[in-house]
Structure 1
Amino acid sequence: MGAVILVMVITFAAMWGFFKFMYPKPPRHMMPQQGDVITPRECDYCHHSLAEYRGVLEPTSDPDAPLFFCNYEHQADYHANKTYQP
């Protein structure tokens, strides 16, 4: 019985170390900071949902409807009138 418990403890410790190594915490600058808007928005180019602080918000003449993009490439493609190819 003691051997079974010892093997389980060693396996748990090895797996804990493996997961800590394989899946580390993301850097702090990638997490939302104080004042960031974390509500999901839909990209105007590819229509994927993304938190507002993670994307690019482009103001327009209508202050109630700014354009939102996942990244700068989507913003450039949107203004170049390219169609989205998944």
Structure 2
Amino acid sequence: MRCDYCPLCPRDDICPESENNYGIEYKNGEYGCKHPRNWVDKRNKEHDEYYSNMGIDMGIEMSLTENEFKQAIKLCLI
């Protein structure tokens, strides 16, 4: 594995993108990906926003009483 920027790559494992269109095999036999830096930055931003929104949702859910939670679920199902 040898991906300098890819957020998908754990440093001890093989890059999951190495078998896709952006996969690359280096001269020393290691596999990695050649994603451009702007893709990596965009992907990191999307992940950050996703986890941030999930945390906000969990906080709202935990602050509701049981009755308020049931009402919220009913509103979501309509």
Q: TM-score, normalised by structure 1?
A: 0.25
Relative contact order, CA 8 A, sep 6+: which one is greater? 2
